[in-house]
Chain A
Amino acid sequence: MTRKFTASLAIAFLATLILFDQATAKLNPYQAPPAFAFGSGLASAGGFCGALPQ
């Protein structure tokens, strides 16, 4: 068995994750923020590993 098998499993994992995500949450490009946070004037609101709960 080679890495082709395990690398394929990794990609299958990603595909499953995205399919599961799309089954449980919907995308709406019309509510998307501006392309760049820099210069947008909006406060940064993404999740980050250094942040305490907000």
Chain B
Amino acid sequence: MSDAAAPIREARAFEGFARRGGLVLALLTAIALVALFAGARFGMMLAVGLGFGIALEGLRFGFAGPWRAMILRREPAGILAQLLSIGIVSSVAIPLLAAHPGELTGAQAPVGWAMIGGAFVFGAAMQVVLGCGSGSLVNAGSGNPVGLLALPFFAIGSFAGAYHLIWWTDLGSLPIATLSGWQGLFVTWAALLLTGALLLRLGRPDARRIPRRLVIAAILLAALAIANLLIAGQPWGVVYGLGLWAAKGFTALGGDLSGSAFWSAPGTGRILQGSILTDYTSLTNIGLIAGAFVTAAWRNGGLSQKLPSYPIGAWLAVIIAGFLLGYSSRLAFGCNVGAFFSGISTGSLHGWVWFVAAFAGAFLGVRLRPMLGLEARQ
């Protein structure tokens, strides 16, 4: 029996094979070039970043969406997957940090007024654009116009927040508190279990099961975050790299950073003069965008979705929220990645405080989003 559609199917299969082969080749070439011209460590960090992007986009794992699902629909599965991933990382990271101080550093930062306020604003802004630190990068890479528009303002906000950081921290901060060693690990596990139990109690009974894809994503993210720590000597972060990109642009335009205690510090100045291909958070950020792009392009019809139409006010809201995401995350010593994910998994108390403050802000954000024209009002 003849099949008239067979040649068309074969042509499509070949086109898909060529497209996917080209994407894999491009990724491997990029990793090899960075390893060759910058060094093996930096090539591996780009590979880790690409892994983050592919895992987050490919398995639809996020931070802002699950928080929204819990607030609006009492669906805890997504946040439980986040806690699972954090728990896995903490099991390796906290003992390693205790055994290798100096060589490995955690995401430790002080709790303070600006830190709490920053986390609250970040939680609200991430619900407005439905994208967090990692989510904005992944969204941009997969062609989401909201993520793409928010990204440059996120970077500018991160630069500005760092510029003013010392003024904000001078408003009042506690000494850095860290849960370290085996005792710290057990306390972290207990706190994660208690949080999980609370979410299960508050969640809808029929929405408690974590889908398999989120469990797989949680394990993959944990493995990549541990690799990040072992290769770079520091945990996974996002906002520092974005601020660095804006700072480089600022100085290239003739801007003077001597008025900022942060950007004029010797350590920061050294990083500012170097290439972004030797900056860990820049490399993982590039990997997040490129990994999400490759994953979306890999899917048949993955980039054929029509762009949404929003009123002009909504786009202005995205610009403002993007700036606030960057600015607030610097005051909060990290975003959902640097403070929440990496902070808690490396034993920093500020990660837990960040979680509570940002979640409170998320309640405001889910109410602001329809008011700003980014979704239909209920």
Do A4 and B348 form a contact, CB below 8 Å, given A14-B286, A44-B102, A48-B105?
A: no
Q: How far is the CA of A11 from the CA of B109 in the complex (A)?
A: 33
Q: Is B276 an interface residue (CB 8 A)?
A: yes
Q: Is B378 an interface residue (CB 8 A)?
A: no
Chain B contributes a number of interface residues (CB within 8 A of A) equal to: 86
Most buried by A among B240, B330, B343: B240
Chain A contributes a number of interface residues (CB within 8 A of B) equal to: 46
Contact among B39, B109, B268 with A32 in the assembled complex (CB-CB below 8 Å): B39
Whether B103 pairs with A7 at a CB distance below 8 angstroms is no
Q: How far is the CB of B57 from chain A (nearest CB, A)?
A: 11
Whether A50 pairs with B41 at a CB distance below 8 angstroms is no
Closest to B141 in A: A10
- A residues bordering B, Cβ < 8 Å? 1-7, 9-11, 13-14, 17-18, 20-22, 24-27, 29, 31-54
Q: Which residues of B contact A38 (CB under 8 A)?
A: 96, 100, 103-104, 229-231, 233
Q: Which residues of A contact B144 (CB under 8 A)?
A: 3, 6
Whether B143 pairs with A10 at a CB distance below 8 angstroms is yes
Whether B143 pairs with A3 at a CB distance below 8 angstroms is yes
Whether B262 pairs with A53 at a CB distance below 8 angstroms is yes
Q: Which residues of A contact B289 (CB under 8 A)?
A: 10-11, 13-14
Do A54 and B266 form a contact, CB below 8 Å, given A18-B276, A22-B275?
A: yes
In the complex, how many residue pairs between chain A and chain B have their CB atoms under 8 Å apart? 203
Closest to A7 in B: B143
Known: A35-B39, A38-B229. 17 other contacts (CB 8 A): A3-B144, A3-B296, A3-B302, A3-B304, A6-B140, A7-B293, A7-B303, A10-B293, A11-B293, A14-B286, A29-B37, A37-B230, A44-B232, A44-B234, A46-B280, A48-B338, A54-B266
Do A49 and B239 form a contact, CB below 8 Å, given A18-B277, A29-B37, A36-B230?
A: yes
Whether A46 pairs with B232 at a CB distance below 8 angstroms is yes
Q: Which residues of A contact B303 (CB under 8 A)?
A: 2-4, 7
Q: How far is the CB of A3 from chain B (nearest CB, A)?
A: 3
Contact among B265, B290, B339 with A50 in the assembled complex (CB-CB below 8 Å): B339
Whether A2 pairs with B307 at a CB distance below 8 angstroms is yes
**Top 4 nearest A-B pairs by Cβ distance?**
A32-B39, A37-B233, A3-B143, A54-B267
Closest to B274 in A: A25
20 A–B pairs (Cβ distance < 8 Å), ordered by A: A1-B307, A3-B304, A6-B143, A11-B293, A13-B152, A22-B275, A25-B275, A29-B36, A32-B38, A32-B278, A36-B231, A46-B232, A48-B240, A50-B348, A51-B109, A52-B109, A53-B166, A53-B263, A53-B265, A53-B267
